[in-house]
């Protein structure tokens, strides 16, 4: 059974801090790993990673995948209160499969 584990489950930081969120996975036929941000209800797409060692970057957010060690990290630098959300990691696996296996998420709270 495919498995995605995120850590920590929750995190409280002050504005300006840098945070690293972790996602490890055990899946058959890995295809890609995705990060989503869920603020109130709808998860919104952040990154999709398919190749090892290539950093994806968008503003203060960046992510990298290690396919050998089966994990990914999401970094947020100079955090702001608007970064407070649940960050979801999902892995797409299996040829022809539509299924994304999600982790439980990391709840990030950024306090002023």
The residue ranges that bind other proteins (CB under 8 A) are: 4, 31-32, 34, 36, 40-45, 48, 88, 90, 92, 96-105
Nearest distance in Å: CB 65, other proteins: 14
Give least dist CB 31 to other proteins, A: 7
Cβ proximity of 6 and 23 under 8 Å: yes
Closest distance of CB 97 from other proteins, Å = 8
Calpha distance 29→19 (Å, rounded) = 30
Q: Which lies closer to other proteins via its Cβ, residue 39 or residue 55?
A: 39
User: Using CA atoms, how far apart are residues 30 and 67, in angstroms rounded to an integer?
Assistant: 9
Distance between CA atoms of 76 and 33, rounded to whole angstroms?
18
User: Based on CB atoms, which residue is closest to other proteins, 11 or 17?
Assistant: 11
């Amino acid at each position: 059974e495919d498995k995605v584990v995120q850590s920590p489950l929750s995190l409280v930081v002050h504005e300006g801090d840098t945070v690293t969120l972790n996602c490890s996975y055990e899946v058959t036929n890995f295809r890609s790993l995705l990060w989503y941000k869920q603020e109130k209800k709808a998860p919104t797409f952040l990154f999709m990673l398919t190749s090892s060692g290539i950093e994806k970057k968008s503003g203060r957010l960046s992510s990298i995948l290690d396919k050998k060690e089966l994990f990914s990290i999401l970094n947020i630098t100079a955090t702001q209160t608007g970064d407070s959300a649940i960050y979801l990691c999902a892995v797409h696996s299996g040829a022809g499969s539509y299924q994304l296996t999600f982790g439980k998420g990391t709840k990030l709270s950024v306090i002023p």
